[in-house]
Structure 1
Amino acid sequence: MIRKILVALLLITSFATTAQRTSSSPYSFFGFGDEFSPRTVEQSSMGGIGVAFNHYKYLNFTNPAAYADLRYTTYAFGLLNNDLTIRNGDVKQNANSTSLSYFAVAFPIGNKAGFSVGLQPVSSVGYSLSSSLLDDKGNTINTLFTGDGGVNRVYGSFGIKLTKELSIGLEADYKFGNIDNSVIEGNVDATLATKNSETTNVRGGSVTLGAQYQKTLKNKLIFNSGAAFKFGNDLTVTGTESEYTLSYSGTGGEIPRDYRPNIAIKGEYKLPLKTTIGAGLGKFDKWYLGLEYENQAAIENSGFLNKTNTAFAYEKSNRFSLGGFYLPKINSISSYWERVTYRAGIRFENTGLLVNGSTNNTNFNQINDFGISFGLGLPLKQLSNVNMGFEFGKRGTTANNLIQENYFNFRLSLSLTDTNWFQKRKID
């Protein structure tokens, strides 16, 4: 039955993940969109930690070495609801979006290895921004910026134990997606406007190498450490840039006029090495507390409509996360709530994005992100569970005419366990 559910959900998720608009953030205007960190609902509920953590039934999107400890075939998919409040000076606006955040399956291979495959969004573009400025002649120029699309990835991860305490893992993925950006500019008193648009395809792959070390200490304490290295890779961008004049019909529809010859686009994003390290301490199926640090050098890009020397730039990015879980009594008979896993965490992040909100070419502001999260793991039959995560956060700033986002993320995942595919059945 679970495998039939798996096929149906995979088809639904594959279509929905590639077709939906999953971001309402104005910051999705920059680069290849609003990036999603590859984390499960369980990881996100603990501030995003995961590079040092492993479990016999949970997936891990941060470190492929964690699959060496997997002991059950697990199917998982997650949902994300983002409630966003956008501020710019005294102006405030609300937005909401709901999306499928991942679908994955993982299974053990013997007692010392595990494998996972899945589909996830990498980034999403979904913005509509407008501005009004006076030109040198005192005319009001209205400009409308819109964008839609996103990038997704399919991945395969493998982890294996080299010794009782040391595991290593390897992950390979392929990224793909389509992004549409457009700018409409016109004099408020004129009947015609000019539209410039880009339709682009994004393609590329990456490889991640991970390792975990686990040591049992006194009093049944377990020390975990881990590291993951996502090697530098390029995302190639191809597409078409078009420009034409237009007028509007009585219902507001566009009526194209004069076209200029289309221009072929060929650009790329150069993504440097991303390093994640972490450590944690806990007791098996009782509690865990972990600390994690991630950093990456500045991203480089070229060949994009919204890429100018005065709009935005990239710098080194980094993240600090602290979080963990507490499970009162995993085998409690008298109380269901004692079998519930309680998670919490905190996250500080410099996204690496620099945005210029003024005409001063050197007046760039860091776009930082801060979040506090907590969650519940609700047990079902046969080790399956429903996981809920809640996160309150703030990104950006209102300084320098920029935008501050206050957000509330609600995450939901279903994790189903099944008979191990590579375990020989016994007949009584």
Structure 2
Amino acid sequence: MYQKLKYTLAVCLLLTSIVANAQVTVQSPYSKFGVGNIKGSLLPQYRAMGGISTAVYKPGFFNSINIQNPASYAGINATTLDIGLSVNSTELKNSTQTENSFNATLSHIALAFPVSKKSALSFGILPYSELGYNFKNTVKVGTTTANTKTVDYKYNGEGGLTKAYLGYGVQFGDHFRVGANAEYLFGNLSENRSTEYVDDPGSINSRMQVKNSVGGVSFSYGAQYDFRLDNKTLLVLGYSGSSSSKINLKNSQVVTQYFNDATGSEQTALDTLLLVENSPTNLKLPLIHNFGISIQRDNKWMVGADYRMGKWSNLSINNVNQGLQDTYGFSVGGQYTPDVTAINGYFKRVDYRLGFQYDKTYIQMNQQDIKQMAVTFGVGLPLASYSRGAFYRMNLSAELGKRGTVSNGLLQEKYLNIHLGFTLNDSSWFQRFRFD
């Protein structure tokens, strides 16, 4: 058992380093707002069901780590390890142009193990947000035809935030569970904004470079209560949320002036107008609420729904409110397993998942709310086990969705997100056997 633990911890530490230092190559102009595109604390098996998780306790025979609601940890009765990766394909489109991008990265590492018959501990690392964009806006400035000039406003950014968490869930009595996660958010958000005069080499251009380095603690929490409708059917009510936390942040800013030569190539900076290095400040995160309900037939099927809301209008960076909107959204979904005990017929033991999600995001442009929706689906594939008390499963999910619209001069993103996770359940880690 100790060899297993040492080996697994070594692999987790290696993969954690890779995840924490992975270069985000997402291309999404909407990630310019706030702290980037919020990823959500969901493993592939939950994403396949539209993201339902708040009232999901034990959706099947197999143990699964539900980070979104730590109260669910109380149902974990075997050591559970989950490692995964994500692939993203995006089409950006306006009224005249279309652009495609592709990104692939390790997505999560999570480990959970029972502490007692009614409690469990979990820890891991996963992305919190992604920032990546590069675009320009060309305008004409001037009061007369003689002094009108063409100006390029260029915007680019990269980075993102990563979340490492440690959580505990416990059950009181036969029906009520509570849990909490302590979360450490860290990462860099780097953004540049340039003003360049086109076809005018004599003009002085300017650029502002801003880097926010984040590192601090926040908290999330949850509760669940279940009702037995009969000896095989369970109704679960759930709540989860994230606190309105102030995270430590170091802000750096540089404003420079420079020329472009006749070919458009940038020359050495002429002057530095502003220099701020690692000024201590904070990132204020919003209060978030999630409410859920689910009903399930033990080891057979489950359906559920979530409703969520967030006070993103309170988000501030470096003590500056970011001018975002409050959010709301909902998810519906479920899974079905034909026969979890089937000896013959592999596909009878497969989990089939389907879902839908809708969100009003925190972005508003041209007096129009930016909305997002997606259809989700996936499977949980049991894998062969070659050791006593160990079970393996591969979870595959896909999200096919869109955000925004091409009307009113806006931009639409169509995306396909594919998530792959490998899950291990092993009940022998903390048991001593007479023979082995």
Q: Say yes or no: TM over 0.5.
A: yes
Aligned residues of 2:378 and 2:397 also touching (Cα < 8 A)? yes
2:43 to 22, 40, 43: 40
Aligned equivalent of 1:76: 82
The residue type equivalent to 1:395 in the other structure is R
**Offset of residue 268 of structure 1:** 3.8
Partners of 1:219 and 1:72 lie apart in 2 by: 23
Aligned residues of 1:269 and 1:300 also touching (Cα < 8 A)? no
Partners of 2:25 and 2:176 lie apart in 1 by: 38
**For 1:71-99, what per-residue CA distance to the aligned partner results, in whole angstroms no more than 9, with x for missing partners?**
11111112111110111112111111112
**For 1:105-142, what per-residue CA distance to the aligned partner results, in whole angstroms no more than 9, with x for missing partners?**
11111211011000111111111011110001320001
Aligned residues of 1:269 and 1:299 also touching (Cα < 8 A)? no
Partners of 1:239 and 1:269 lie apart in 2 by: 10
Aligned equivalent of 2:195: 185
Q: Match of 1:262, SS?
A: strand
Q: Match of 2:30, SS?
A: helix
Where do 1:96-107 residues align within 5 Å? 96-107=102-113
Structure 1: gaps of 5 or more residues: 357-363
Partners of 2:183 and 2:324 lie apart in 1 by: 24
Q: Match of 2:52, SS?
A: coil
Tell me: CA distance 1:231–1:302, structure 2 relative to 1, closer, same or farther (3 Å): closer
Aligned equivalent of 2:406: 398
Q: What is the number of residues matched between the two proteins?
A: 416
**Offset of residue 418 of structure 1:** 2.5
Aligned residues of 1:314 and 1:353 also touching (Cα < 8 A)? yes
Aligned equivalent of 1:23: 26
1:246 aligns with 2:258: yes
Aligned equivalent of 1:231: 243
State the TM-score, normalizing by the size of structure 1. Answer: 0.91
1:285 aligns with 2:285: no
2:185 to 162, 175, 183: 175
Aligned equivalent of 1:165: 175
Partners of 1:303 and 1:82 lie apart in 2 by: 28
1:150 to 157, 160, 168: 160
1:276 aligns with 2:290: yes
Aligned equivalent of 2:270: 257
The residue type equivalent to 1:147 in the other structure is G
**Offset of residue 383 of structure 1:** 2.0
**Offset of residue 205 of structure 1:** 2.0
Aligned residues of 1:271 and 1:299 also touching (Cα < 8 A)? no
Tell me: CA distance 1:300–1:18, structure 2 relative to 1, closer, same or farther (3 Å): farther
Aligned residues of 2:257 and 2:273 also touching (Cα < 8 A)? no
**For 1:313-371, what per-residue CA distance to the aligned partner results, in whole angstroms no more than 9, with x for missing partners?**
32221111100100011121111111110001000111222234xxxxxxx22111101
Q: Match of 1:27, SS?
A: helix
**Offset of residue 267 of structure 1:** 4.9
**For 1:349-398, what per-residue CA distance to the aligned partner results, in whole angstroms no more than 9, with x for missing partners?**
11222234xxxxxxx22111101000010101232100100111011122
Aligned residues of 1:278 and 1:291 also touching (Cα < 8 A)? yes
Aligned residues of 1:398 and 1:404 also touching (Cα < 8 A)? yes
Partners of 2:357 and 2:81 lie apart in 1 by: 27
Aligned residues of 1:313 and 1:355 also touching (Cα < 8 A)? no
Aligned equivalent of 2:359: 349
Tell me: CA distance 1:346–1:290, structure 2 relative to 1, closer, same or farther (3 Å): same
**Offset of residue 157 of structure 1:** 0.9
Aligned residues of 1:18 and 1:177 also touching (Cα < 8 A)? no
Aligned equivalent of 2:327: 317
Partners of 1:369 and 1:378 lie apart in 2 by: 29
Aligned residues of 1:343 and 1:376 also touching (Cα < 8 A)? yes
Aligned residues of 1:326 and 1:341 also touching (Cα < 8 A)? yes
Percent identity (aligned): 29
1:204 aligns with 2:204: no
Aligned residues of 1:267 and 1:301 also touching (Cα < 8 A)? no
Aligned residues of 2:284 and 2:317 also touching (Cα < 8 A)? no
Aligned residues of 1:268 and 1:301 also touching (Cα < 8 A)? no
Aligned residues of 1:346 and 1:371 also touching (Cα < 8 A)? yes
Aligned residues of 1:270 and 1:299 also touching (Cα < 8 A)? no
Of residues 253-262 and 18-27 in structure 1, the stretch that sits farther from structure 2 once superposed is: 253-262
Partners of 1:22 and 1:72 lie apart in 2 by: 36
Aligned equivalent of 2:419: 411
Tell me: CA distance 1:254–1:221, structure 2 relative to 1, closer, same or farther (3 Å): farther
State the TM-score, normalizing by the size of structure 2. Answer: 0.90
Aligned equivalent of 1:385: 393
Aligned residues of 1:107 and 1:420 also touching (Cα < 8 A)? no
Partners of 1:254 and 1:418 lie apart in 2 by: 60
Aligned equivalent of 1:328: 338
Partners of 2:237 and 2:329 lie apart in 1 by: 17
Tell me: CA distance 1:321–1:247, structure 2 relative to 1, closer, same or farther (3 Å): same
**For 1:202-244, what per-residue CA distance to the aligned partner results, in whole angstroms no more than 9, with x for missing partners?**
2332222211112222262111111112221123432211111
2:309 to 269, 281, 295: 295
Aligned residues of 1:22 and 1:99 also touching (Cα < 8 A)? no
Tell me: CA distance 1:145–1:323, structure 2 relative to 1, closer, same or farther (3 Å): same
Q: Match of 2:236, SS?
A: strand
The residue type equivalent to 1:199 in the other structure is K
Partners of 2:9 and 2:393 lie apart in 1 by: 16
Q: Match of 1:350, SS?
A: strand
Tell me: CA distance 1:313–1:261, structure 2 relative to 1, closer, same or farther (3 Å): closer
Root mean square deviation of aligned Cα: 2.2
Aligned equivalent of 1:67: 73
Tell me: CA distance 1:304–1:170, structure 2 relative to 1, closer, same or farther (3 Å): closer
Tell me: CA distance 1:254–1:147, structure 2 relative to 1, closer, same or farther (3 Å): farther
Aligned residues of 1:123 and 1:152 also touching (Cα < 8 A)? yes
